[in-house]
Structure 1
Amino acid sequence: MSKSIRHLMARPAPDQAVGSASSTESTTSPPLPAGNPPSPRRTGAARSFGAAWQAQEQARAAADAERDGSVVELDPGLCDPSAIADRVPDTTDAAFDAFVEQIRDEGQRSPALVRPKPGEPGRYEIAYGRRRHRAARILGRPLRAIVRPLSDTELVIAQGSENLARADLSYIERAHFAQNMVRAGVTRDVIAKAMGLQTTHLSSLLSVAEAIPASVLAVIGPAPRIGRPNWLTLADRIKSATPERIDSALASPDLSGKSSNERFAVVLAGLAAAPKVAKRAKAETLKDAKGLKFARVERSTSGVRVTTDEANEPGFGDYLAARLPEILAAYRASKA
């Protein structure tokens, strides 16, 4: 969590009642973090360290918020996800089921961060804590949250700061998140800083996101173990496949009951180039005036094959073979 976000969470709540007109006004955006953004190629150890540090910082900020009374309980039905989606839905996500059970048993440990929703008094927009919000709705419990009048830029930075430290956010979800921010009109420099990316890596993420249609992403899901090279391979196959073939791959019965990573493999295999089937030679049966078969002629791109019928015309094959030089000479003479 960046220093600016800790400041957002720790500052006192505004005096105005939540949902009043003043509570929906945009605040001045905090200065974006200075210096070079972290390298996108973080190791698993670095991601784990970042996630642990993020959790520690959130816990500290949440404790401060608890002390100053700024954590409130909200009806989850009044809270809407951010317009910029950062998660790809996956109905087979067993980790989320475990997350719900943990909240059922232990309660919601850390609050979400929301802002009064602009233009809709009494409603809220989630900066982060979308899974906590979803769990609260499933369990029929209020959502514990910190309410702050965030500007659009502050909302994006807060959302991106949490995403940066998530160990479970897949490559395609990061690409999907970046693409959604672009579509929402967020400038690329703000996106890069919010996600801790260099401009070149952001361009790479966006190119992959643009190459994967929404219909394909909806079937596959987040695919947490699938990295950039495999997504690029899938993108290439999508470009060269017909719409009918893509639809067929997405409707494959092999997708049923599979995890998101396995569904990726099924779709990728379904769009693999079909092996070329060698064309069978065209065959023609030759008959004499009485209707007896005396030879079979097969034509292909590589030549002509003549097979004599020794049963109906014994010795004809030897006769033909002996006269091939004579026949060739006559053929050449005809072309002169």
Structure 2
Amino acid sequence: MSKSIRHLMARPAPELAPDTPSSTPSTTSPPLPAGNPPSPRRTAAARSFGAAWQAQEQARAAADAERDGSVVELDPEICDPSAIADRVPDTTDAAFDAFVEQIRQEGQRSPALVRPKPGEPGRYEIAYGRRRHRAARLLGRPLRAIVRPLSDTELIIAQGSENLARADLSYIERAHFARNMVQAGVARDVIAKAMGLQASHLSSLLTVADAIPAPVLATIGPAPRIGRPNWLTLADRIKAAAPERIDEALAAPNLAGKTSDERFAAVLAALTTTPKAAGRPRAETLKDAKGLKFARVERSTAGVRVTTDEASEPGFGDYLAGRLPELLAAYRAGKA
């Protein structure tokens, strides 16, 4: 967590001067806090260290807030998630089930961060702590939270800083978060600051997010073990596949009960496998009592084709064509 966000969480809410009229806090984005951009080539060890440091700083800031008495208990029904989603829903998330059980037994260890919701007195908007909020609703417990009057930019940076410290946010969820911010009209420099990214890395995330249609993402879910190369491969398969083939892959019955990673693998396999070529029409040669060929019948899913042999039975084709209305009437009468 950045120094500015830690300070933001720990500071008391500002008080209005006696001669200052009461007003709703502005949500206009202030200038971004100064700071050096992250290195574009952080090693895995550096990223791990950075995430651990941020988690430690967040815990320390939360402890400070707890001592200051600024942690409150809120009815989860009056708390709304940030308008910019960073999670991809997954009904098979066993980790969330374990998270809920942990809160059931041990209570909510760290508070969420919320702000009074602009334009809706008595309601709050969650900067981070969506899973804690969801767990509180399921358990019928209050949400422990720090309330701060955050601007729109401060809300986004706090949400992004929290994401950096979470190991369970998958690659596609980060890409999804970045794209949602772009679609909400957030400036790219603010997004990069919120996510701790260089502009090139942000563009890479957005490229993947834009290449995966919403129905595909909704079906697969967060896929925690799937990284950028595999998502790019899936994007290529989607681009090359016919829409009906994509729909068929997403509706496959074998997806039921699979984990998110397994659903990814199944959809990728369905779009990678070459479709079976349409079978050749079944053909039958018709012969008379003497063994002479007089017609050929070809059956396919599109219909039946009859070709008469004019060499062995001249005029039969015209005769057959002239009798077709009569044959159709007899056929229909037989079905009545």
Q: Does the pair score TM above 0.5?
A: yes
Note closer, same or farther for the CA distance 1:282–1:148 as it changes in structure 2 (3 Å cut): closer
Note closer, same or farther for the CA distance 1:40–1:92 as it changes in structure 2 (3 Å cut): farther
Note closer, same or farther for the CA distance 1:225–1:292 as it changes in structure 2 (3 Å cut): same
1:10 is aligned to 10
Equivalences, count: 289
1:213 is aligned to 213
Q: RMSD of the TM alignment (CA)?
A: 2.6
Note closer, same or farther for the CA distance 1:173–1:115 as it changes in structure 2 (3 Å cut): same
Distance 1:38 1:194 in 2: 15
1:329 is aligned to none
1:297 is aligned to none
Identity of aligned residues (%): 82
Q: SS in structure 1 opposite 2:69?
A: coil
1:38 is displaced (CA, Å) by: 3.7
Q: SS in structure 1 opposite 2:114?
A: strand
**Residues 37 and 197 in structure 2, CA contact (< 8 A), matched pair in contact too:** no
Distance 1:182 1:40 in 2: 24
Distance 1:185 1:21 in 2: 29
Note closer, same or farther for the CA distance 1:271–1:14 as it changes in structure 2 (3 Å cut): same
Answer yes or no: is 1:74 the counterpart of 2:68.
Answer: no
Deviations 1:106-157 (A, max 9, x none): 1111111000000100000000011111111111111111111100000110
Answer yes or no: is 1:26 the counterpart of 2:27.
Answer: yes
Deviations 1:225-247 (A, max 9, x none): 10111111111111121221111
Distance 1:85 1:54 in 2: 21
Note closer, same or farther for the CA distance 1:60–1:87 as it changes in structure 2 (3 Å cut): same
**Counterparts of residues 267-306 of structure 1 (less than 5 Å):** 267-274=267-274, 277=277, 291=291
1:242 is aligned to 242
Comparing 26-35 with 86-95, greater Cα deviation is found at: 26-35
Note closer, same or farther for the CA distance 1:240–1:136 as it changes in structure 2 (3 Å cut): same
1:28 is displaced (CA, Å) by: 6.6
Distance 2:102 2:202 in 1: 35
Q: SS in structure 2 opposite 1:113?
A: strand
Deviations 1:39-60 (A, max 9, x none): 37642x4443333222211111
**Counterparts of residues 1-336 of structure 1 (less than 5 Å):** 1-15=1-15, 22=23, 24-26=25-27, 29=30, 31-39=32-40, 42-43=43-44, 45-274=45-274, 277=277, 291=291
1:30 is displaced (CA, Å) by: 5.9
Note closer, same or farther for the CA distance 1:239–1:112 as it changes in structure 2 (3 Å cut): same
Q: SS in structure 1 opposite 2:8?
A: helix
1:253 is displaced (CA, Å) by: 1.1
Distance 1:231 1:41 in 2: 22
2:319 is aligned to none
**Residues 238 and 246 in structure 1, CA contact (< 8 A), matched pair in contact too:** yes
Distance 1:281 1:148 in 2: 71
1:204 is displaced (CA, Å) by: 1.1
Note closer, same or farther for the CA distance 1:30–1:145 as it changes in structure 2 (3 Å cut): farther
Q: SS in structure 2 opposite 1:127?
A: strand
1:13 is displaced (CA, Å) by: 2.1
Output the amino acid matched with 2:175.
A
Distance 2:162 2:198 in 1: 17
Structure 2, unmatched stretches of 5+, are 294-336
TM-score normalised over the length of structure 2: 0.79
**Residues 23 and 149 in structure 1, CA contact (< 8 A), matched pair in contact too:** no
1:64 is displaced (CA, Å) by: 0.9
1:264 is displaced (CA, Å) by: 0.2
Output the amino acid matched with 1:216.
V
Structure 1, unmatched stretches of 5+, are 294-336
**Residues 224 and 261 in structure 1, CA contact (< 8 A), matched pair in contact too:** yes
**Residues 59 and 110 in structure 1, CA contact (< 8 A), matched pair in contact too:** yes
Structure with greater Cα Rg: 1
Output the amino acid matched with 1:272.
T
Comparing 244-253 with 274-283, greater Cα deviation is found at: 274-283
**Residues 164 and 196 in structure 1, CA contact (< 8 A), matched pair in contact too:** yes
**Residues 223 and 261 in structure 1, CA contact (< 8 A), matched pair in contact too:** yes
1:274 is displaced (CA, Å) by: 1.4
Deviations 1:291-334 (A, max 9, x none): 568xxxxxxxxxxxxxxxxxxxxxxxxxxxxxxxxxxxxxxxxx
**Residues 14 and 23 in structure 1, CA contact (< 8 A), matched pair in contact too:** no
Distance 2:15 2:123 in 1: 18
Distance 1:284 1:101 in 2: 67
Note closer, same or farther for the CA distance 1:33–1:160 as it changes in structure 2 (3 Å cut): farther
TM-score normalised over the length of structure 1: 0.79
